[in-house]
Amino acid sequence: MAATDTRLPPRGGKAGAIIAAALSLPGVIVPATALADTAPERGEIAIKYLQYQDSQPDLSRIRVRAPSVYVMVPLSPKWSVEGSWVSDTVSGATPRYHTAVSGATRKMSDKRIAEDVKVTRYEERSSYSLSLSHSGENDYQSNAGGLSASFSSDDNNRTWNVGFGYAADRISSTNDPTLHQRKNTVEFMVGVTQAWTANDLVQVNLTLNHGHGYYSDPYKEPDIRPDKRTQSILLTRWNHHFSEMSATLKSSYRYYHDNFGINAHTVGAEWVQPVGDRWTVTPELRYYTQGAASFYYDPVYDPVVGAPYPPGYFTNPPQFISPDQRLSAFGAITAGLKVALKLSADWTVDVKAERYEQRGSWRLGGQGSPGLEPFRATFFQFGVSTRF
Amino acid sequence: MSTAPDQPLVAGSTVPPTRRALSRLGLALIAAAGLGGCAMSPPQPWEKGNLARPEMTMGGDALDQRFVQHIYGSKEAASGGYGVGGGGCGCN
């Protein structure tokens, strides 16, 4: 990132030598070239094994095992290429409506393979990237592409970013062999990153997405959603380095709004604390809160027909409707801890554990959707990476 | 229908304008107050050693971020904001 370009002061003099020595300390990157935007000098390979399990009272839900690989190769000072691959093996059960255990799907299993590649061209004060990605599972195929560019100020303290993306998805269902639907989405993003002080980096990104096609969930019943979705997302991030503790606080806030009627707020904080020369410990906290979609209905069922249909569903059917817990009003908290060990100058291993929980009563202001069970999940990551 | 939505029961941008404006004004004030306490003083080229530390990058660990954002995107209604061109999935 240009805003972190670390050109040295003019050579000569004791001060320059001291600063140069300080910048050569472990963990401090000093590009050998004075170019504002250049390809990374070294490549990287990272492998991670990811594990996920979610549950609610009396129901163990979805389990995911996902090995993944990331590779970044600098081809020259002006070109780099990076890509990743992940294989998700998914198994378990999920409720067909609200959090009803009796209405859960039978045990299912699925496998998703996703891969992406990104090529970046670096110029003196700008860079340009093209990315392509694919995600495939037996009932969902997604192909996407993106173009992005960044432009730096003369002093390299400010970088503007713009991006455009397009995704074409195909949806089918193992429950309904006749279902063949599509969904297309365009994305626009503009943002700026500012070196606020010698210890503060601030970023603001605005993203607008517009999609049309099939948004209903074929595994929920009854579930009829609008065929257009417009999303507006404001993301702010602020990283501050505490020199006296050699620690970094990474904080973020995201505001989300869409035409389903959902407003959501997300705040996150990570404290990156080196311990000695080889260890880094990173505790993190995240809070998320959302309002319900305008067409979500609470688990109150028709007295004659019964679950999962709301009262009046057959006499006065709504245009849009969903019993999906993910569209209800709730709050969620994540607490996590990551520990990384530097084995050598080039090899690092890391372990991360996170605990996540959703509750209606945790919604900001406390007016969450009633009648839903708490939703809990645990994630683990085991990783190794090397630079070359 | 739901007793808890903060919108009327029709699809579309239907938050009352006054409430929406107040919400956005509040957020802007919070942001301004946060940054106002820390006046901008852009660093000189030789003062950027701390900014160049790996932990100061916005993105961080690529696989970690993709995994976590993928999970949140499949369990919460809000998603995105971190980049373009990522595509979707049918995750339950």
ipTM of the complex: 0.89
In angstroms, what CA-CA distances link B74 with A301, A326, A353, B50, B78?
A: 26, 8, 19, 35, 9
Which B residues, 25 through 54, put their C-beta within 8 Å of a C-beta on chain A? 27, 31, 34-35, 38, 40-54
Among the listed residues A63, A52, A48, the one whose alpha carbon sits nearest the alpha carbon of residue A336? A52
pLDDT band, very low/low/confident/very high, at A24 (cuts 50, 70, 90): very low
Full residue range of the structural domain in which residue A84 is found: 2-387
How many cross-chain Cβ pairs, A to B, lie less than 8 Å apart? 315
Overall number of domains in chain A: 1
Residue at B80: amino acid letter: G
Give me the residue label for tokens 């009003």.
A329
What does the pLDDT read at residue B19? Answer: 52
Backbone φ and ψ of A293, nearest 5°: -65, 150
* Gap from B17 CA to chain A (nearest CA, Å): 13
> Which residue, among B23, B30, B46, would best test binding to A if mutated, counting the most A CBs under 10 Å from its CB?
B46
Decide if A324 contacts A249 (C-beta within 8 A). no
Identity of the residue in B4, B46, B51 whose CB atom sits nearest the CB atom of A367: B4
pTM score above 0.90: no
Average of per-residue pLDDT across A128-140: 95
The pLDDT tens digits for A28-52 are 333 333 234 678 899 999 999 999 9
> How many CB atoms are closer than 10 A to CB A14?
7
> Which residue, among A196, A325, A373, A385, would best test binding to B if mutated, counting the most B CBs under 10 Å from its CB?
A196
pLDDT band, very low/low/confident/very high, at A10 (cuts 50, 70, 90): very low
The pLDDT tens digits for B29-63 are 455 545 555 688 999 999 999 999 999 999 889 99
What does the pLDDT read at residue A257? Answer: 98
Decide if A67 contacts A35 (C-beta within 8 A). no
The pLDDT tens digits for A347-363 are 999 999 999 999 999 99
Among the listed residues A177, A173, A175, A186, the one whose alpha carbon sits nearest the alpha carbon of residue A213? A186
The pLDDT tens digits for A85-102 are 999 999 998 899 999 988
Assign B26 to helix, strand or coil: helix
Residue B31 or A172, more confident: A172
What does the pLDDT read at residue A185? Answer: 97
Residue A378 or B8, more confident: A378
What does the pLDDT read at residue A38? Answer: 73
pLDDT band, very low/low/confident/very high, at A287 (cuts 50, 70, 90): very high
CATH (domain of A358): 2.40.160
Identity of the residue in B58, B79, B84 whose CB atom sits nearest the CB atom of A237: B58
* CB-count burial class (<10 Å; 0-12, 13-18, 19+) for A302: middle
What does the pLDDT read at residue A4? Answer: 52
Tell me, rounded to whole angstroms, the distance of Cα A345 from its chain centroid. Answer: 29
Q: Check pLDDT > 60 for residue B20.
A: no
* Rounded CA separation A127/A147 (Å): 11
Mean pLDDT of chain B: 72
Q: What is the DSSP string of A170-232?
A: EE--SS-TT--EEEEEEEEEEEEEEEEETTEEEEEEEEEEEEEE--S-TTSSS-B--SEEEEE
> How many CB atoms are closer than 10 A to CB A352?
22
| Torsion of Cα atoms, B22 then A190 then A43 then B88, to 10° | 80
Decide if A362 contacts A330 (C-beta within 8 A). yes
| Torsion of Cα atoms, B53 then A355 then A64 then A186, to 10° | -60
Q: Which helix (H) or strand (E) holds B25?
A: helix B17-36
Within 8 A by CB and 6+ apart from A297, the residues are: A310, A321, A322, A323, B1, B2
Which region among A1-5, A156-160, A230-234 has the lowest average model confidence (pLDDT)? A1-5
* Rounded CA separation B46/A225 (Å): 54
Decide if A54 contacts A376 (C-beta within 8 A). yes
The pLDDT tens digits for A176-203 are 999 999 999 999 999 999 999 999 999 9
* Rounded CA separation A377/A174 (Å): 25
What does the pLDDT read at residue B14? Answer: 43
| Chain-chain contact of B66 with A86 (C-beta, under 8 angstroms) | yes
pLDDT band, very low/low/confident/very high, at B91 (cuts 50, 70, 90): confident
**Which residues in chain B are closer than 8 Å to A143, comparing Cβ atoms?**
87
Identity of the residue in A157, A298, A350 whose CB atom sits nearest the CB atom of B3: A298
* Rounded CA separation A267/A234 (Å): 12
Average of per-residue pLDDT across A144-160: 95
Average of per-residue pLDDT across A319-347: 97
* Gap from A159 CA to chain B (nearest CA, Å): 13
Mean pLDDT of chain A: 90
| Residue of chain A with shortest Cα separation from B27 | A255
Identity of the residue in A6, A147, A148 whose CB atom sits nearest the CB atom of B49: A6
